[in-house]
Amino acid sequence: MRSCPDTVLECLLPLLRHAAQEQTEGESRAAGLAAVVRECGDRLGALVRRAPRAPDDWSVAWTAGCGCELCGTLGAFLGSRSRRTLEWPLAKDGRRHVHSRIDTAELPVDHQTRRQGRPYTLVLTKTEELFSRERASRRQAGDDLTWLASTWNVSGEVAVDPRP
């Protein structure tokens, strides 16, 4: 469980919500879930405490490239803190590949094809969603942590864990 990315929370929290509903008589069922509760508490606490993104940081985390040259160019653009747009003259197959990579990863990047010249130009623009998604997930993590603490009787040590 510890080696999974934070998306594992999308599985574990519904599990705990379901278990909380089922659990009507005593602590017996909760006992086996203590490790899950603690794991969720640690992860949610880390998400809540994470420093907010700097307003000029436009870097988009992405590791799903296939290793080809196009993914290399896309990855360099996404990873850049300062570059928000990329105008990329690219033939059809290349454009299709880049479109599909962006859609598959649901990246906060608008991608349009400007149908002028040869080849057409793929215009990529990082969107404000980069910031709003992070704000929303921080808020959600805070709500989940509150629920976890109240429902699973987690002591304050999880919620206010002082680790950086």
60-89 positions binding Zn ion, by CB under 5 A = 66, 68, 71
Rounded Cα distance between 33 and 60, Å, is 34
- Contacts with Zn ion by CB under 5 A: the residue count is 3
Concatenating the DSSP letter of every residue in 115-159 gives: --SSS-EEEEEE-THHHHHHHHHHHHHHHHHHHHHHHTT--HHHH
- Say how far residue 144 (Cα) sits from the centre of its chain: 16
CB 153 within 8 A of CB 40: no
Which range binds Zn ion by CB under 5 A, 23-31, 58-66, 104-112, 136-144? Answer: 58-66
* CB 158, min distance to Zn ion, A: 41
Nearer to Zn ion among residue 11 and residue 68 (C-beta): 68
- What does the CA dihedral 99, 102, 106, 110 come to, rounded to 10 degrees? -70
Nearer to Zn ion among residue 24 and residue 104 (C-beta): 104
Nearer to Zn ion among residue 8 and residue 71 (C-beta): 71
* CB 146, min distance to Zn ion, A: 41
Nearer to Zn ion among residue 71 and residue 123 (C-beta): 71
106-145 positions binding Zn ion, by CB under 5 A = none
Nearer to Zn ion among residue 51 and residue 66 (C-beta): 66
* CB 65, min distance to Zn ion, A: 6
User: How crowded is residue 58: how many other Cβ atoms within 10 Å of its Cβ?
Assistant: 20
Q: Which residues bind Zn ion (CB under 5 A)?
A: 66, 68, 71
